[in-house]
């Protein structure tokens, strides 16, 4: 099985982060919460995109209008 270098990079970052907190799950979660509150103003929430029925994907019966 081939290892994905991107996945390995993420895993290495997790291991380093956990090691900084001596693998204490409460401390790790507290750090994530702290980071989240510090960075919350940097996150952009966009309104959902609305598509016209004519833009619906063909073959999606739930979105197609019935023929008259």
Give the pLDDT band of residue 65 (cuts 50, 70, 90). low
Q: What is the pLDDT of residues 1-39, one digit of tens each?
A: 788 999 999 999 999 999 999 999 999 999 999 998 888
| Burial grade of 31 (CB within 10 A; 0-12, 13-18, 19 or more) | middle
HEC profile of the chain: CCCCHHHHHHHHHHHHHHHHCCCCHHHHHHHHHHHHHHHHHHCCCCCCCCCCHHHCCCCCCCCCCCCC
Residue ranges per structural domain of the chain: 1-42
How high is the pLDDT of residue 41? 74
């Amino acid at each position: 099985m081939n290892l994905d270098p991107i996945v390995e990079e993420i895993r290495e970052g997790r291991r380093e982060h956990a090691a900084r907190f001596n693998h204490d799950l409460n401390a790790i979660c507290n750090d994530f919460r702290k980071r989240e509150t510090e960075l919350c103003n940097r996150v952009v929430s966009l309104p959902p995109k609305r598509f016209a029925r004519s833009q619906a994907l063909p073959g999606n019966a739930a979105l197609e209008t019935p023929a008259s």
